Amino acid sequence: MPEPMELAYEERGSGPVLLFVHGFPFDRTMWIAQLAGLAKIRSAVAVDLRGHGLSDVMTGGDFSMDLFADDVAKTLDAIGAEKADIAGLSMGGYVLFSFWRRHPERVRSLIFIDTKAEADSDEAKAGREKTAETAASQGMQPIYETLASKVVGSSPSIEVQDKLKEMMLGTAPEVAAADALAMRDRADSTADLPSITVPVLWLHGEEDALMPVDGARASAAKIPGASFVSIPKGGHVSPMENPEAVNSAIANFLKTE
């Protein structure tokens, strides 16, 4: 596995660190509303995973959720944070599961957003491989055209749609391909759910078509003491679509954790 690297990040506010990990194929700017809305209660930090946004690719090996998790740990070192509340959306949620397995002593709480614990089925793995092949051979335009309508709910704003397009088309094709294969090969985290001992909040868009809310609710129920909040008018990118509801849920959670 390649050496962990310090990631590019954006920080707002002060106090204990609340770190956000983006999904596929996005970057730290998906969390703009969270950085603005939660800076009064935390040092809100959004990272760019390697190869995304302002972070280098650091070639020399394949991507993996474990590598991403170690990159987050090294970035916490750079920030000077021994522990953090860590939030992750979709692929970022997969990173959180890996982070919990590899660096549990650094976790103050976990916030899973529009993600799942299960590994990919054989059909889903084939889909990841197709995504990787498409990105490598045709670039990001077909990936954008396929995903754009699937990641939002029934009434996305023009601003959200424009931001999604910017992030997707701004992701390097080779990075998207490496992401897809890393997600294909990720571990099944279902068995970890009952053993999570830190406070957990699970947020999920009511209109998430990629990962239906009922499955997420069932996973959250397996985590001792976890709180589950469904986000109205939210699809797979609920923090972008309904930031007020997401920020309110996170703020309430952090007051009680």
Give the pLDDT confidence of 8-52 residue by residue, as tens digits. 999 999 999 999 999 999 999 999 999 999 999 999 999 999 999
Residue 81 falls within a domain, yes or no?
Answer: yes
* Residue 28 counted as domain residue: yes
| Rounded mean pLDDT, 224-228 | 98
Across the range 185-197, mean pLDDT stands at: 97
- On the question of pLDDT at 1 being above 90, the answer is no
**205 has which bridge partners?**
231
Domain containing 213: what range?
9-118+188-256
Q: Is residue 32 in some structural domain?
A: yes
For the chain, the average pLDDT equals 96
Q: Quick one: 191 exposed, middle or buried, by C-beta within 10 A (0-12, 13-18, 19+)? A: exposed
Question: Contact at 8 Å (CB) between 218 and 242?
Answer: no
176 found inside a domain: no
Residue 163 forms part of a structural domain? no
Categorize the per-residue pLDDT at 59 as very low, low, confident or very high, splitting at 50, 70 and 90. Answer: low
In a domain, 167, yes or no: no
41: domain CATH number? 3.40.50.1820
Q: Are 16 and 199 in contact (CB under 8 A)?
A: no
| pLDDT class of 256 with cuts at 50, 70, 90 | confident
In a domain, 143, yes or no: no
Domain count, the chain: 1
29: tokens are 């700017």
**Residue 45 is assigned to a structural domain of this protein:** yes
DSSP 145-198: HHHTTTSS-SS--HHHHHHHHHHHHHS-HHHHHHHHHHHHTPPP-GGGGGG--S
